[in-house]
């Protein structure tokens, strides 16, 4: 088994079982690091069952079998491009119709544009294309990532950057500085490895955020580009 503590990634041609390994690593970290602490301080993920490889395989098999039009996003999609951190869930972008075609996916919470549920032992977070921006990302920024068992539709570098930019204003308003810092770092890492033109991306995102957020997002993206350029120069990437 690969040393997942040192390298967390989903290279082209990996097995879907690698997804399960990453989920398991994150689950074990969440479960173990809180043992012996007061109940109120324990990581809630510790009470959930461990993610099983067969559930991972079955989820993607059903999506393919039922011809669900979806895109892999979030932490798993990030790992198809860069080395990163473990992630506890599978993030998918799909339509409400696609969601309803997989009744095995048990929805726990749902709003107009987001849902969270479980598929067997897996936690699955959903971005719904009832949101016009998510629909654009699915249509314009999807590619095929090759696994041993099947090809999986996944967000492109541009799509991931756009989604993270779009999410930042909400994180700022919630004072969720930890996740905001992670998202900004994710953008910087993607830009360091992939010299992606960003003018069109920020223009697209700004069409779908509040007027007061536009200048701040442009500033954040400029800072990420500058940090990426500095990292590239120092590492001679």
Residue showing tokens 């998918």: 92
6 occurs within a structural domain: no
Nearest Cα residue to 188 out of 71, 84, 80: 84
Tens digits of residue pLDDT in 10-58: 999 999 989 988 988 888 776 444 344 443 433 444 457 788 889 999 9
- Alpha carbon 57 to chain centroid, angstroms: 18
- 8 within a domain of the structure (yes/no): no
Same domain flag for 125 and 198: no
Q: Which of 98, 120, 155 is the last residue of a domain?
A: 155
Does residue 199 sit in the same domain as residue 109? no
**In this structure, are 75 and 127 located in the same domain?**
yes
Order of all β-strands in the sheet with 90-94: 106-110, 114-119, 122-128, 90-94, 70-73, 151-155, 142-146
pLDDT in tens, 66-125: 999 999 999 999 999 998 877 889 999 999 999 999 999 999 999 999 999 999 999 999
Q: Which domain holds residue 164?
A: 159-235
> Helix 132-140 and helix 157-173: axis angle, to 10°?
160
Q: Report the share of the chain in percent with pLDDT over 90.
A: 78
Question: 155, 171, 189: which is the final residue of a domain?
Answer: 155
As for how many domains the chain has, the answer is 2
Shared domain check, 116 and 79? yes
CATH code for position 24 = 3.30.460
Domain-terminating residue out of 155, 181, 215: 155
Residue 41 shares a structural domain with residue 63:
yes
């Amino acid at each position: 088994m690969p040393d997942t503590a040192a390298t967390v990634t989903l290279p082209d041609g990996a097995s879907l079982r690698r997804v399960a390994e990453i989920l398991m690593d994150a689950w074990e970290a969440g479960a173990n690091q809180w043992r012996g602490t007061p109940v109120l301080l324990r990581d809630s993920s510790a009470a959930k069952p461990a993610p099983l490889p067969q559930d991972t395989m079955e989820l993607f098999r059903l999506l393919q079998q039922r011809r669900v039009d979806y895109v892999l996003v979030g932490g798993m999609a990030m790992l198809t491009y860069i080395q990163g951190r473990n992630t506890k869930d599978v993030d998918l972008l799909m339509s409400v119709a696609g969601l309803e075609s997989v009744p095995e996916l048990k929805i726990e919470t749902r709003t107009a544009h987001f849902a969270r549920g479980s598929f067997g032992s897996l936690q699955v977070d959903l971005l719904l294309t009832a949101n016009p921006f998510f629909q654009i990302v699915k249509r314009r920024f999807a590619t095929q990532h090759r696994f041993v068992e099947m090809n999986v539709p996944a967000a492109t570098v541009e799509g991931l950057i756009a989604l993270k930019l779009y999410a930042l204003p909400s994180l700022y308003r919630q004072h969720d500085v930890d996740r905001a810092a992670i998202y900004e770092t994710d953008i910087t890492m993607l830009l360091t490895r992939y010299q992606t033109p960003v003018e069109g991306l920020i223009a697209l995102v700004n069409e779908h955020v509040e007027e007061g957020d536009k200048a701040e997002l442009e500033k954040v993206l400029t800072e990420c580009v500058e940090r990426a350029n500095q990292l590239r120069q120092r590492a001679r990437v």
